[in-house]
Chains A and B, each alone.
Chain A
Amino acid sequence: MKKLLLATALLALTGGVAAAQTVRLGTEGAYPPFNFIDDSGNVAGFERELGDELCKRAGLTCEWVTTDWDSIIPNLQSGNYDVIIAGMSITDERAQVVDFSMNYVPPAASAYAAGSADADITGGVVSAQVGTIQAAHVAESGATLLEFPTPDETVAAVRNGEAVAVFADKDYLVPYVNESNGALMFVGEDVPLGGGVGMAFRQSDDELRGKFDAAIQSMKDDGTLNPLIKKHFGPDAKVF
């Protein structure tokens, strides 16, 4: 028995050397254009391209894993994957339990998209995804919060009249508003929330975080990050 265990341990050790380190990237896969499942069933979007490039620069082999937004942090902590790269805004609340990399998308505005220009976003029913900073903001704003588990349902709620407006990352809402033929529009002021979007790591994983931080920095320095942002979020997106 002991021999067998030793053999597996050895195998694991040598395997680790030969195949470099495999890092598992956890994402939601339901938040276009940040991350989504494309029509051939693979993870795609801004973060897919970014993540693959970062892994290349850091010399890591990466694998993509999708999970529910609800359980994305507990699953990181129990080690089901090593990194969260899922359009997650950097907030103090989250920073208490995970460590963030430097942001790879600048602090961006959140916005209200509504079905009509006179929508009452301060007193009416506003939809948001459960467990997001936007949901917390709506709960405080005096509007009535209507929560859904996936981002796409929050937009659907405005279309079918359940909510007067949806409050989400502006980058996420822009394609929906543009393609709605006037059925959806932005109302009210944009609200700056969070400290940009970053990758999240277990607090004990400083080494891995360092590698990704260096890779992000190198992309910022050589000017490859900004075009990538523009490619996915449109020419008006905020860049570094």
Chain B
Amino acid sequence: MTCWETVQAYAFRSLGYGEKMLPRSDFDLCQQFTLIGSGLIWNVYFGVIALAFGFFLATALALAKASHSRWLRKPAEWFIFVFRGSPLFIQFFIAYSALVMLPRGGIDILGIHLNTSWMTSAWAGAAFVLFLNTSAYAAEIFYGALMSVPKGDLEAADAYGLSGWSRFRRIQWPTMLRLAWPAYTNEAIFLFHATTLVFFSGFPAFQQRGDALYYANYFADKTFNPFVPYPIVAFYFILLTFALIGLFGLVNKRLNRHLPSNTRSRIRLRPQLIR
């Protein structure tokens, strides 16, 4: 098989398209690069889903934690504590063990039939855990930023007669984002790294569709040589990290566009709040 044919056969194998059987013998570099790259689709999927939904939950949690009401503050603090205080590895495991306990046939609540069987698959269950996890980490970052919004800004908002929602949306939120963005970039990078744990703890691979590490493990297992596939995973993740830094850098530029160039917060890769 030429390399191009391999790419055609396996580029989307992780999603179930292309060749059904994984290569069984005569492993070459091309196969390893293609399949591990194919698995990377899952890592990107998990990362993007968790970040996209997590952003909103994190904002809500940060606000709840900053709230004066006990009833809002305490649950938010506990949520953040549980997810930041325990290993993701164990969170995955517990989530999977708990999800498989749901009745197979589905649940009937108030006459609505809820199907539950899909929840144990990695694409739903693992993405959900990652979503909660990143929300907790990002909430802590956002909370810190919310506390650092300059007092003067808030007083100015009061003077302009802004209050409640419009004060939050027009003053607090943009400043919070700007201050939090460098740390949030780090969180995003480490979230993508964390996606490699999905098929390593709890969640089973379905029809041999897995993430980059799953295929690397497959090759390491078949070729009995760990020194080729794992560095390939490392290579892909370095690329992914660069792409993320670039993307988040663009957003950072936009968040800081109104500031004189010497006071802009650059994405410094020496974080205080890394995962």
Q: Does A pair with B? A: yes
Contact residues of A with B, CB < 8 Å? 70, 73-74, 77, 93, 97, 125, 127, 130-131, 136, 139-140, 144-148, 153, 157, 160-162
Please report the C-alpha to C-alpha distance between residue A39 and residue B258 in the assembled complex, in whole angstroms. Answer: 67
CB distance from A121 to the nearest CB of B (A): 15
B104 at the binding interface (Cβ < 8 Å): yes
**Secondary structure dominating the interface of A:** mixed
Which of chain B's residues 191-239 have a Cβ closer than 8 Å to chain A? Answer: 204-208, 217, 220-222, 224-226
Could you say which residues of chain A place their CB within 8 Å of the CB of B225? Answer: 74
CB distance from B201 to the nearest CB of A (A): 9
Chosen A-B contacts, 21 in total, with CB atoms closer than 8 Å, are: A70-B217, A93-B24, A97-B224, A127-B204, A130-B205, A131-B221, A136-B24, A139-B22, A140-B21, A144-B206, A145-B207, A146-B205, A146-B206, A147-B205, A147-B208, A157-B100, A161-B100, A161-B104, A161-B117, A162-B100, A162-B120
Could you say which residues of chain B place their CB within 8 Å of the CB of A93? Answer: 24-25, 222
CB distance from A157 to the nearest CB of B (A): 7
**Candidates B24, B204, B224; contact of A73 at CB < 8 Å:** B224
Q: How large, as a class, is the contact surface on chain B?
A: 20 to 34
Contact residues of B with A, CB < 8 Å? 21-22, 24-25, 100-101, 104, 117, 120, 204-208, 217, 220-222, 224-226
Given contacts A131-B221, A136-B24, contact A74 B206 (CB under 8 A): no
Chain B residue nearest in CB terms to A159: B100
Please report the C-alpha to C-alpha distance between residue A146 and residue B217 in the assembled complex, in whole angstroms. Answer: 16
Please report the C-alpha to C-alpha distance between residue A73 and residue B226 in the assembled complex, in whole angstroms. Answer: 11
CB distance from A164 to the nearest CB of B (A): 11
**Candidates A74, A157, A160; contact of B220 at CB < 8 Å:** A74
CB distance from B246 to the nearest CB of A (A): 35
B104 touching A157, Cβ below 8 Å = no
CB distance from B220 to the nearest CB of A (A): 7
Contacts A130-B221, A146-B207, A162-B100 supplied; 4 other A-B pairs, CB < 8 Å: A93-B24, A139-B21, A145-B207, A160-B100
A147 touching B204, Cβ below 8 Å = yes
Chain B residue nearest in CB terms to A144: B207
Closest A-B pairs by Cβ, 6 of them: A160-B100, A161-B104, A131-B221, A147-B205, A146-B204, A97-B224
B224 touching A162, Cβ below 8 Å = no
